[in-house]
Amino acid sequence: MSKRDRQIGTIVEVHGPVVVIACERLPALRQALSAAFDHEEYIFEVHQHLDETHVRAVTLHRTSGLRRGMPVYDTGAPLHVPVTEHCLGRLVNVFGQPLDGGASLEDTEYRNIHSLPAPLSEAVGISGILETGIKVIDLLCPFVRGGKTGLFGGAGVGKTVLIMEFMHAVISLHQGVSVFAGVGERIREGHELWMELKRAEVMEKSLLVFGQMDESPGVRFRVGLTALTYAEYLRDRLHKEVLFLVDNIFRFVQAGSEISSLLGRMPATVGYQPTLGTEVAEIEERILSTRQGAVTSVQAVYVPADDMTDPAVSTILSHLDTTVILSRAIAAQGLYPAVDPLRSGSKMMDRHFLGDRHYTIAEGVREHLARYAELQDVIAMLGLEELSPEDRQIVHRARRLQRYLTQPFHVTAQFTGIPGASVPLEKTLNDCEAFLNGEYDDLSEDDCYMRGTMSE
């Protein structure tokens, strides 16, 4: 059947990225439609049925060149992307088309980006800790295999470096693969990430999917689903540990808010779309593990005005198992990774999940760091000598623990000149237990800084 035979209607209105199409027959919601102008194809996604003959759709391209009266064709399916085992090592867009200058993905099948989550009968629950080799994460806010982790941090506190180290850990420690969704990424950030992954030699086991900041809100709204479709395919086909990274999940919410306003919906709390909860759940509930393999997610989350009660942040938080908060104050002290050990945590931080030893040591470390934080004002005003002997001992041990929880990363080794270190959880527990018992009280703080295990 030729394209002309599949004509479904014509454009009658253009409002920025939203178009109104007069149709001979109504296409289904989320159906992909297309139009062509000057050898360029435009893809639309149907979002509303206005009446018996008109639909409102969102353009997944720039809208320059669109005009009233243009013929629109039915693609016969919702938006789908080519999937193949050879997608690893590639950089693609929301349609699965290459952005790295390489050949198109060939010998492929296609998958609908709106596929349903795996059936409950196929899903498996969380199955223990996913070790990252990063001491502060594994000890105080452990990743859950098959769970979701939120990474909260502003610009310049090491968020991208931490994401790259997670990718390196999953690939090297667990022989897994990574899928990165750049939702509303700056072109500079995307290019830097691509180059750094190549330099760190982990790009061959990674797939990057970008919907950049300058693209249509429809692209930024759907690129996360495209990346998730690839993650599901790799989980089902390769039966491996898949790390699914999103930077930034908040920009997905922003794109949904833009589209909601353009479609004429009445805004809800703080101006967000009324469908906020449904849209976040649609992407979050597909991130799960099955008998075929596991998908573990790390999502960078921007916090507007540092308000954790913001409706978008609260909605995303309700789906997360682990919260990792990066602190600018800690980064300013030169303590990297700049994880705030007192504000970060996991829902799985209990004795039954972690075991008595891990839980007891983690709580002991937290108690020392919390007491040190309480005493900092007293130390600043009166000096360390005015503290009781017990408090002085806690402060000394807390400062050593702070420096011990810093770590050189594999992906930064060429910049710092310090070889990267990956520390097994058992060795982290042994070292922290020794710190708490006073075995390293005679060491200087510098001897604890930026190293792997204390036995080194």
Catalytic residues: 159, 185-186
Q: Residue 172 region, left (φ>0) first, then alpha (ψ -120 to 50), else beta?
A: alpha
Angle between helices 276-284 and 217-238 (to 10 degrees): 30
Count CB atoms within 10 A of the CB of residue 63.
15
In angstroms, what CA-CA distances link 104 with 3, 25, 220, 233? 22, 33, 22, 18
**Radius of gyration for the chain, computed over Cα atoms and rounded to the nearest angstrom:** 25
Across-strand partners of 245?
180, 298
Of 65, 61, 68, 67, nearest to 33 by C-alpha is 61
Across-strand partners of 325?
152
Count CB atoms within 10 A of the CB of residue 268.
15
Which residues lie below 8 Å from residue 33, measured CB to CB, with a gap of 6+? 8, 21, 27, 43, 44, 45, 46, 57, 72, 73, 74, 75
Report the distance separating Cα 313 and Cα 280, nearest Å.
10
Report the distance separating Cα 216 and Cα 222, nearest Å.
10
